């Protein structure tokens, strides 16, 4: 079995989790429109797979002004897209109490913007394309740290918490449409994301990327809306149960508030 998609836009496809997912989706028969900053890697991806299986569009999530043009280009040039995977991100440690910490504010806010605000923009701008399909999917790659934050990574943890909350609310608002909203939660994975630790240490930290993709693909094929891969910052059964309970509470709250906010939605 494979995912029920024909063509996927994968943002953040030039390295790490995104690159591995792109390869696996193509192997499953899905055409992948890869998006990322590094044109050399995008060109190599298309050359490796051929135009019938792959395409590429450059995007820089840090440049929010460019996301409107990017979304219009994708919608115009790739109208067959029936799934979008929003994966790109950045991670760095912050000492919030050291002298001069306020000098780091721009870097902090940039990380939140790339990991969260850019995905809100893209999901809103690409939503009409997905809603025109009888069945489609929007996948957010969040993190275990969006549920249990890591003290050295406040910007990353906060941005992933916001992204997960946004995914839940968007899922509920899209109920009854053909768009499925999927929240994919990786643990630490051995990718370039941790290069700030030093390439040798950082790329050995966490789950091997192929193991992550095996579990992620299994969840996507099974049709899960929340896919929690690997072991989080607590025993897996306990962690998964807590996440599941949060989702149930969110769904119950959505039902209670449906009538209250009806005139506003």
* Predicted local distance difference test score (pLDDT) of residue 200: 78
CATH number of the domain within which 71 lies: 3.40.50.720
pTM (whole model) above 0.75: yes
Portion of the chain with pLDDT greater than 70, in percent = 97
Residue 220 lies in a domain: yes
Axis-axis angle for helices 154-173, 236-260 (nearest 10): 50
Residue 246 lies in a domain: no
Residue 199 has pLDDT above 80, yes or no: no
Portion of the chain with pLDDT greater than 90, in percent = 74
Residue 200 lies in a domain: yes
Residue 40 lies in a domain: yes
* Predicted local distance difference test score (pLDDT) of residue 184: 97
Residue 35 has pLDDT above 70, yes or no: yes
Residue 223 lies in a domain: yes
Residue 99 lies in a domain: yes
* Residues forming the active site: 156
Residue 250 lies in a domain: no
Question: For 143-192, how does the pLDDT look when each residue is reduced to its tens digit (9 = 90+)?
Answer: 999 999 999 999 999 999 999 999 999 999 998 899 999 999 999 888 77
Residue 264 lies in a domain: no
Residue 197 has pLDDT above 70, yes or no: yes
Beta-bridge partners for 54: 32
* Predicted local distance difference test score (pLDDT) of residue 1: 67
| Number of domains forming the structure of the chain | 1
Question: For 83-135, how does the pLDDT look when each residue is reduced to its tens digit (9 = 90+)?
Answer: 999 997 898 999 999 888 888 899 999 999 999 999 999 999 999 999 999 99
Q: Which domain holds residue 112?
A: 7-235
* Predicted local distance difference test score (pLDDT) of residue 263: 67
């Amino acid at each position: 079995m494979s995912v029920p998609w024909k063509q996927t836009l994968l943002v953040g496809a030039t390295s790490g989790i995104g690159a591995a997912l792109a390869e696996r989706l193509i192997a499953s028969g899905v055409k992948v429109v890869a998006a990322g900053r590094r044109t050399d890697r995008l060109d190599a991806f298309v050359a490796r797979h051929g135009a019938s299986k792959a395409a590429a569009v450059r995007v820089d999530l840090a440049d929010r002004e460019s996301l409107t043009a990017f979304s219009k280009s994708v919608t115009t040039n790739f109208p067959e897209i029936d799934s979008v995977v929003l994966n790109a991100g950045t991670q760095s440690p912050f000492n919030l109490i050291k002298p001069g910490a306020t000098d780091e504010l721009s870097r902090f806010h940039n990380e939140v913007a790339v990991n969260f605000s850019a995905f809100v923009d893209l999901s809103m701008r690409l939503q009409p394309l997905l809603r025109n399909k009888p069945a489609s999917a929007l996948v957010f790659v969040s993190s275990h740290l969006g549920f249990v934050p890591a003290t050295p990574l406040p910007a990353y943890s906060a941005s992933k918490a916001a992204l997960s909350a946004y995914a839940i609310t968007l899922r509920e608002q899209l109920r009854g449409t053909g768009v499925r909203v999927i929240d994919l939660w990786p643990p630490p994975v051995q990718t370039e994301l941790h290069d700030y630790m030093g390439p040798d240490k950082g790329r050995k930290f966490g789950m091997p990327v192929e193991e992550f993709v095996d579990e992620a693909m299994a969840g996507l094929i099974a049709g899960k809306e929340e896919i929690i891969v690997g072991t989080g910052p607590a025993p897996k059964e306990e962690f998964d149960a807590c996440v599941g309970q949060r989702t149930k509470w969110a769904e119950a709250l959505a039902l209670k508030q449906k009538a209250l906010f009806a005139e506003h939605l």
